[in-house]
Amino acid sequence: MARRVTWTDSAWQEPECAAGFIARDSGRYAAAVTEEALAAARSLRKFPRRGRIVPEAENEAIRELFIRSYRLIYEIRGDGAIVIPAFIHGARRFPAALF
């Protein structure tokens, strides 16, 4: 069963911001990061538990996929929907107020 995957407004802007920053050095790398993030999010429709549990959250429903140096954070909701609240660089601190 394919699930619905949605991005929060702020999360949707984060890959674009990351790509803009990366594009200063490499347009090709920036495009690759964006495409990989979108492909990873699409894959969650069929494989929602493929990511690891986010260690900072200690909640089985809050997971992440690694896209190069970035973390695609997502939550599997009780109704089966997948919500992506953040796409952050791995060197950044996990936003505690996220969940």
**Residue 9, both tokens:** 């407004």
Looking at the chain, the whole-number percentage of residues with pLDDT higher than 70 is 98
pLDDT in tens, 58-98: 899 999 999 999 999 999 999 999 999 999 998 888 777 77
Residue type at 43 in one-letter notation: S
As given in the structure block, the two tokens for residue 68 are 């190069």
- Which H/E stretch holds residue 83? strand 82-89
Query: Picking from 4-8, 23-27, 44-48, 83-87, which range would have the lowest pLDDT averaged per residue?
Result: 23-27
CATH number belonging to domain 5-91 = 3.30.2310.20
pLDDT computed for residue 99 by the predictor: 67
Tell which residue, 88, 65, 98, has the closest CA to residue 17: 88
- Alpha helix stretches (DSSP H) within 23-95: 27-43
Residues 6+ apart with CB under 8 A from 56: 94, 96
